[in-house]
Structure formats: structure tokens, C-alpha cells
Amino acid sequence: MKHLLTPCLIKLGLLLLCTTQLVHADSREHEELKRSIIKIYTTAAAPDFFNPWALLNAKQLSGSGAVIEGRQILTNAHVIANGSFIQVQRHGDAQKFRARVKFVSHDADLALLTVDDENFFDDTRPLTMGKLPDLQEEVTVYGYPMGGKSLSITRGVLSRVEHQYYAHAESYLMAGQIDAAINPGNSGGPVISDGRIVGVAMQSNQSQGAENLGYFVPPSVIEHVLKDAEDGVEQGFPELGAVTQSLESPSMKKAAGLSADQEGALVVRVFEDAPASNVLQPGDVLLQVDGFDVAADRTIEWRENQRTNYHYAVDQYHVGDRLPVRIARNGEVRDVEITLAQTPTSRSLVQGEKFDQRPRYYIYGGVVFVPLNMNLIKRWGGNWHSKAPIEYLYARNQWSSPEKQELVVALKVLPAPVNLGYHDWKNWIIESVNGEKIRDFGQFAQLMESNEDNYVDLRDDAGYRMVLDADAAMEQQSAILQTYQIPQPHSQGLFSTLANREAGVDPEQQHLQ
């Protein structure tokens, strides 16, 4: 009996030894992973779009990030947006290191940071990218949420993957949803599966009744940004250059020339300055995009039994790539290719929200003029949907055109003798200067600056007018700026940029005036 027990005890001892070694190895690997999770401290001073020559009070923000290949840190763009001073700190360390932004994609809410002090990356292991897990698989979120200084690790289940609006820049891209809250400070932290990054924690669902719902940037979006960052020049996600609507109405489907077994998305507008204008026209039906069949609700099956908007197929490409598309025109099926172009600043008359940029403004006769954009609208706070002027909100639904690319607003009047009678005018959208239609803010400023008439006559689309004496405006300009403590009558570089554009000179090669 004694001889029989000995081999069993030996085997049991070996099994315990192997188990102990595996536990130690797993623990060591987990500690190495935690060492690569970074806390980010940002001092951010955003511009004040109500007073565009000034900054709002600086705020201290924090977020999370992860070390990846190339001695860089992957995080959210909103963690470092408008940042004037950025520091990073490793897990378990007290020392903070100065960091700088290497690349940023506000549309994807992603940024890459680097640290000039190479000692920062000692004892850190670059995390690699993994594939998006299947639905209902567990993932782990690492980060430094508010309420403490130490690393937090939470687990959740991947419950949904589809296109969502990213809160940071209101872009529309693929996002993953997990049943774990993404709290302030967690932003930018990696979502991990099998030791690899499968997402970047981005935002939480603040809808009434929603509990513990968080969203993350998935691998397809991250990899697109990393590829875009290789040359250091951001081109972003390309645009198809067309607007579509669902084709679920049987009558509309029949009118478009489709058979009963055909589905697709109806093209309702093609932008004239987009490459798609050479290929598509209103009334066409998108049947396939990059080989994916487009359903009547404009979705494609990107993975078995999982659907999302057909823009997913477009988002896999880069600027300059040729996208294969199958269309139906008057019932005739055609296979075509569209050369994808860089998405313009905005297709709306209201420019999208921008970051890390100073506002444009122009002051004439004590009237402060600015372009209408989402930065200005959001200055009304979290309830801007109901508090911002109705004219501003209505303009968001209007498309721009080559003749009218953005709107100009008389934001407010700085009371002075030259502008008597207009002291209470504010948030006024103007259409013309001395009878000439306004195309964009740069052209507007040039019209004002080059005026040789005795008066400047401003009008809106309803015919209301503001008339200013040109000589009085010039004579009182210096006193108005001094009274209201405004350093310059216009934003830095406004006219040098215009002059360089007309001369064909790269503004980056010139000093801003």
C-alpha cells in the first residue's frame, strides 16, 4: 500500500507545482499588463465662444490610456482636447511625466500621446490589438475613474455592436456596448480580452432609465486611426459623398424600379464637389457596398447575424481608395467604383464642433461677428437643444453649397456711439454686406475690411437691416477695443490666411498677423 501511495503523491505534488507555476505566471502577466495602463492628467483651457478673444477658466481633467507599440499611449481625444499641459503616470508610480500629443482623431475620439523622457516606458509592455469578441463574451475595462487614485478593473459583457453617435464630435461610427458603466476618468482606458486591446472606453449612456451601460471604440475604428497616423497627417474617415434614405416603402421601391426581391438604399442627394458626383445621381439605389448587400433599412450584415449601417463598409477604406459599389438606375444594375475623398469640414451650414483651435471673430463698429458653429451653440450648456436660438438650431438642418458654405452671426453689440440703436441686437444671422451675398466668414471679413462706401449695410434673409457709419466705425475702433479690453479687432491670422489663399501660398509657411 505504501508503494502504491508514493507515485500518487508524486503526481499530486507535480500537479500542485504546475498549478502554482501557472498561477504565478498568470499573476505576473497581469501585473505587467497593469503596468501598461496609464493615468493621464490634463490642464484644459477651452476658448470662450461668447467672448472669442478670451479663454474660459482652465480645468483639471483626468483620464486613462494604454501603452502600445511605438512608445506611444492610446487614449480618447476628449481626454486631451484643448489641453495646454499634459502629464502621464504609470500604475504604482508616484512620478508624473510630461507628455505631448502625437496624433489626434476627434471624429474617432482617439489620440496618441508620447513622452520624450524614454525612461517612462521602462518596465512597460506594449499592449497589442485583438479582435472584437463575440456577443455575450466577457471583457475587462481598465482605468482610473473618479473617486480614487488607484487602478480600477471592472468586467462586463459585450451586449451590442452597431453604429452610434460619438458624444465628443458627434461623428457616426461603429461602437461596442457593454453592461459596465464608463465613469469620468475611465475614458481612454483599454477594454481587454485575452490580454489584448479590443476597445477603448469612450462614453456612458446617460439616458433616463439606462443603468451601467458603457460604450467603447472598437478595433476596426482604432486600427483605421493607427493606419491614418503612420504619416502623421490626419485624413480621417472618407466620405461617400451621397445622402441616402431607407427604401422600406413598397411604393417607393416600385417607383425606383426595383423588383420584389431587391433591396437597397435610395440616393436622395449627391454633393457636387464629391467624387461620387461622377458616378452617382439622385434616384439611384445602393444595392451593394464593398460586396455587402444593403438592406432596405440601410444596414448590412457585417458579421453573421449582426447588422449595422452600411457606412461600416466605407469606414474600412482610406482617402484615395476606390470603393466598389453596385447600384440600380431605373431598374438597370451597374457595378461602379467611387474614389473616396476626405470628408470636408462640414456639409451643414453650421460647422461641426472643433477642438484645439482658437475661434474666428471680427469686430467692426463695436459689433462682434463670428461664424455659426457647434462650438458657439454648445456654449448654451448641456441643454443647448432648447436654450440656443431657434434660428441657430434650424440652420443645422440646412446643407451648405459652393455659393453658401457657412453662416455669419452678429453675436452681440459692444455699446458705443457708432452703434446707437442696436445695443440690444444679438445672435443675428446676416445674409449680405452692401447687397453682396455672404459665402463664408473669410469672404465676409474681406467685404467688411475692403468697404469704401460711406456706410456698411447689413441685412438678413427677411430684409431687416443694420447700417453703420464707416468713418465713425474706423474712428472709434481703438477706443471700443480699449474700453472692453479686447486685444485685437479680429482673430489672429484671419487676413494673412485670406491673403495667402489668394496668392496660393501655404499659410503654414507664413507668420500669422
Active site residues: 78, 109, 187
Cell numbers placing 369: 461677428
Distance CA 498, CA 362 (A): 13
Among 313, 355, 164, 319, CA closest to 234: 319
Cell numbers placing 208: 433616463
From the centroid of its chain, how far is CA 244?
Answer: 22
Residues in the chain: 513
Among 172, 186, 234, CA closest to 76: 186
Distance CA 163, CA 174 (A): 4
Residues 6+ apart with CB under 8 A from 261: none
Q: Which residue has the cell 445602393?
A: 286
Distance CA 123, CA 115 (A): 14
Q: Indicate the burial class of 174 (C-beta count within 10 angstroms; 0-12, 13-18, 19 or more).
A: buried
Which helix (H) or strand (E) element contains residue 447?
Answer: helix 441-449
Q: Indicate the burial class of 14 (C-beta count within 10 angstroms; 0-12, 13-18, 19 or more).
A: exposed
Cell numbers placing 262: 431587391
DSSP letters for 381-444: -TTHHHHS-HHHHHHTTSB-BTTB---EEEEEE---GGGTT-TT--SEEE-EETTEEP-SHHHH
Which helix (H) or strand (E) element contains residue 177?
Answer: strand 172-178
Helix axes of 441-449 and 494-503: crossing angle, nearest 10 degrees: 100
- Compute φ and ψ for 165, nearest 5 degrees: -85, 125
The sign of the torsion formed by the CA atoms of 391, 395, 397, 398 equals positive
Distance CA 96, CA 89 (A): 5
Distance CA 47, CA 358 (A): 6
Contact 95, 89 (CB under 8 A): yes
110-114 and 97-105: which strand pairing?
antiparallel
Contact 360, 52 (CB under 8 A): yes
Distance CA 162, CA 311 (A): 11
Distance CA 100, CA 112 (A): 9
